[in-house]
A and B are shown apart, each in its own frame.
Chain A
Amino acid sequence: MKNLTLTIGWLYPELMSTYGDRGNIIAYQKRCLWRGIHIEVLKLNQGFDVNLLNLCDFLFMGGAQDEQQQIVAQDLIRKRNLLKQKIEEGIPGLYICGAYQFLGKYYKEADGTIIKGLGILDLHTENPGLNSSRLIGNILMSTAKGMKMVGFENHGGRTYLGKNVKPLGTVIEGFGNNGKDTTEGVIYKNCFGTYLHGPILPKNPEFTDLLIKLTLENKYKLTVNFHTLEDSLEKKAYNAIAKRLKVKL
């Protein structure tokens, strides 16, 4: 593959980057480089020019602390329309934890206060209050395409999916979206939301490759067949967690 260049739009790297989520950027970038695909990373910080979204082929946004999330919310709500248009047009993207919740319709706090979301995805999140514990721990799930994924979740909010979206995976061990319906994350067109830290991409190379493929296909309108990379450490890391969670390999 010659002269392929992808631009990652990294939304709010300074504010939405609390849980090692830059590992996702590193993994996406490295796996492209190892295949000769050139990568540019566009850091979209607070107050960025909304038109920069038009230069991006892939969007990424990580999780953050509540207070930092509020700063981001004020900025992003003004850029909502173009972001929605891009997602509807099929721009591939990965949104973790707080970013995932924010794409939904609303977040209902423990005291009943409703915080409006971007309303781009058909989902909402509720915090059941101080008497319910945060959902914390290692998680293992399978996706519709038979991919197994691992990560670490740590969230107070419970997310419920609407009819217009599909879950990213089914929980095998762990909590997932809400600890009840065994769904985890969301897929809408080429847009993926998830609670998985870990970070998710270095630990789940198959998923990373899928995102890269979608990005190439969406940008260059071509069918991509990747040669496999050496992923033995990734497999060992997966196996170690699967073994600990007593999930059959």
Chain B
Amino acid sequence: MDLFLILTGKIFSKISQAFNFGSGSTWPGHIALSINKNFIKDFLKKSKTRIIFVAGTNGKTTTGKLIQTILENNGKKVFQNTAGANLLNGIASSLIFNSDLVGKINQDFAIFEIDENTLPLILIEIPGPDFIVILNLFRDQLDRYGEVNTIAKKWKDALKHLDGKTTLILNADDPQVALLGEKLKAKVLYFGIDPTGNENDKFQHASDSTYCPNCKTKLTYSSVYFSHLGNWNCQNCNYGHPKKVFTESPLYPLAGIYNEYNINAAVLLAKNLRLSDERISSALKNFKPAFGRQEILTVNSKQVQIFLSKNPTGLNESLKTIVDLKAENLLLVLNDRIPDGRDVSWIWDVDFENYATVFKNIMISGDRVFDMGLRLKYAGFKNFRTEENLTKAVNIALEKTAKNEILYILPTYSAMLEVRKILTGKKIL
């Protein structure tokens, strides 16, 4: 039966690609799962492929791509469920695409991006992955994923069932994520960042977990890096920052503190597979960013760099990073479709006030262009333009950008896909 599903799925995906239907990538999996609900479990039983999950609010795609780059450059065959389709259907589909016609995967590793709600579900389907990387937990689309504390509780319950075969790679600087590693049978490793030069004296407004996830007392931080990430401890229950933390990748191919976390997580995993610093480092030199994640495009001989920014912490960190890069030209695109989150209130949790006079040219666009305009107005920005038509907005912003300058585009998820389509003439989903 499953062989039939695989074959059908492959045919569907070919038809979909041939006719350029766009989002053909999840329905082979959807069909397979609706006919055999154990499709994923049955499929993986027969395979020797090692499974890596990457979960967290921000950085999944980049971290997955980093791991993939390191492994592939070291001779491993790897597949990843890309295309942002990070639900069960997407995973079933990527199994179909990456198997041969007799239903065997000839790959050494499979990397799956797991979104907040799916982690408990996927652990039922795939109960013993080799690695689970958990990057962070920030407030994201509250209308879809629910609240941070609820998610953390569901994760904790799901991870209890893991045995010693699974290695968890957890962010030590995120209190809720670090607590996930307590009292587990699975092996637990921690990553963080080198605090030197990264300390902030105050919390950003969009901080979520400044209360102890164990006893609800206010946490004490000896330093804060961004959002609620930092060197924390609880003076009430003595729950504290893990002691042994990996913080030093031999190479950092991407800018931004948030990428230091992503890179250290990927490198810690690679080191656990006994890859040497030299091999990791030479692999990372070949790293190309995932689409929309600091991806650089050249359009009309001008450089454009896209920083996907889909929640308060993501947008705060994108702004901080491009300001460090001396950005002058900015295009902000705010959409409110399902993948973006329909509630745009979150832009008020971003610390725009810090950047009111930094940029030379600011253009804003997207479904909720005027909401973004209001946010900038109340943050004290004076010189910004609003343009409802995204193609026009992109063109004007490009015109305003001088030949030797870079246009930085900060879009939400669906906006990022649209922007890329405008810039490259191609659809990716």
Contact = CB atoms under 8 A, between A and B. Distances in A.
A217 interface: no
Given A233-B374, A234-B374, A197 B150 contact: no
A25 to B, nearest CB: 10
Interface in B228-282: none
A194 to B, nearest CB: 13
Contact of B348 (A21, A67, A236, A240): A21
Interface in A1-51: 14-15, 17-23, 26-27, 30, 46
Nearest to A198: B345
A18 B150 CA distance: 14
Contacts of B148: 65
Interface string A188-202: 000000000111001
Most buried by A among B142, B205, B368: B142
B108 interface: no
A147 interface: no
Contacts of A233: 370, 373-374, 377, 386
B77 to A, nearest CB: 42
A20 B345 CA distance: 5
B348 A237 contact: no
Contacts of B139: 18
A203 B344 CA distance: 12
B348 A18 contact: no
Given A202-B378, A240-B368, A65 B147 contact: yes
A154 interface: yes
A141 to B, nearest CB: 17
Most buried by B among A66, A138, A152: A152
B384 to A, nearest CB: 10
B349 A22 contact: yes
Contacts of A19: 142, 343, 345-346
Contacts of B211: 15, 68, 71
A179 interface: no
A46 B218 CA distance: 10
B370 A23 contact: no
A202 B342 contact: no
B208 to A, nearest CB: 8
Interface residues of B, number: 31
A14 B371 CA distance: 24
Contacts of B374: 202-203, 233-234, 237
A152 B342 contact: yes
Interface in B210-234: 210-211, 216, 218
B375 to A, nearest CB: 8
A66 B205 CA distance: 19
Contact of A71 (B216, B346, B347, B370): B216
Contacts of A82: none
Interface string B177-216: 0000000000000000000000000000100001100001
Interface residues of A, number: 33
Contacts of A210: none
A20 B311 CA distance: 11
A68 B148 CA distance: 11
A122 to B, nearest CB: 28
Contacts of A17: 205, 349
Contacts of A26: 348, 378-379
A137 B342 contact: yes
Interface in A216-238: 233-234, 236-237
A114 interface: no
Contact of B343 (A27, A30, A152, A237): A152
A115 interface: no
B143 interface: yes
Interface in B373-411: 373-375, 377-379, 386
A14 B202 CA distance: 13
B149 interface: yes
A116 B342 CA distance: 32
Nearest to A30: B378
B225 to A, nearest CB: 18
Given A152-B342, A203-B374, A240-B370, A66 B348 contact: no
Contact of B210 (A14, A18, A152): A14
A149 to B, nearest CB: 15
Interface in B123-158: 139, 142-143, 147-150
A154 B370 contact: no
Nearest to B149: A67
A23 B75 CA distance: 51
Given A14-B210, A237-B371, A240-B368, 10 more contacts: A18-B142, A23-B348, A26-B378, A26-B379, A27-B378, A65-B147, A65-B148, A65-B150, A203-B371, A240-B369
8 contacts: A17-B349, A23-B345, A65-B147, A65-B148, A71-B211, A197-B343, A233-B373, A237-B371
